[in-house]
Amino acid sequence: MVEASKESLAQAAAPVASKAVAKKDNKPAKEAATDIDAETNTEQTDYIGIEDFAKVEMKVAHVLACNHVEGADKLLQFTLDVGEDKPRNVFSGIRKFYEPEQLLDKKVICVTNLAPRKMKFGVSEGMVLSTGNPKTQLTVVTLPDNCVIGDVLA
| Helices 2-21 and 29-40, axial angle in degrees (round to 10) | 110
Q: Which residues, including other chains, have CB under 8 Å from residue 130's CB and lie 6 or more apart?
A: 92, 94, 138, 139, 140, 141
* CATH 2.40.50.140 location in the chain: 58-143
Fold of the domain spanning 58-143? OB fold (Dihydrolipoamide Acetyltransferase, E2P) (2.40.50)
When pLDDT is cut at 50, 70 and 90, the band that residue 131 belongs to is very high
Residue 93 has pLDDT above 80, yes or no: yes
* Contact between residue 9 and residue 50 where contact means Cβ atoms under 8 Å apart: yes
Nearest to 32 by CA among 11, 14, 18: 18
The mean predicted confidence, pLDDT, of the chain is 83
Cα–Cα distance measured from residue 120 to residue 25, given in angstroms and rounded to the nearest whole number = 61
| Per-residue model confidence as pLDDT tens digits over 2-52 | 455 445 544 444 444 444 444 444 545 445 444 555 555 568 899 999 999
Give the least confident one: 7-16, 35-44, 95-104, 130-139: 7-16
Nearest to 140 by CA among 80, 87, 97: 97
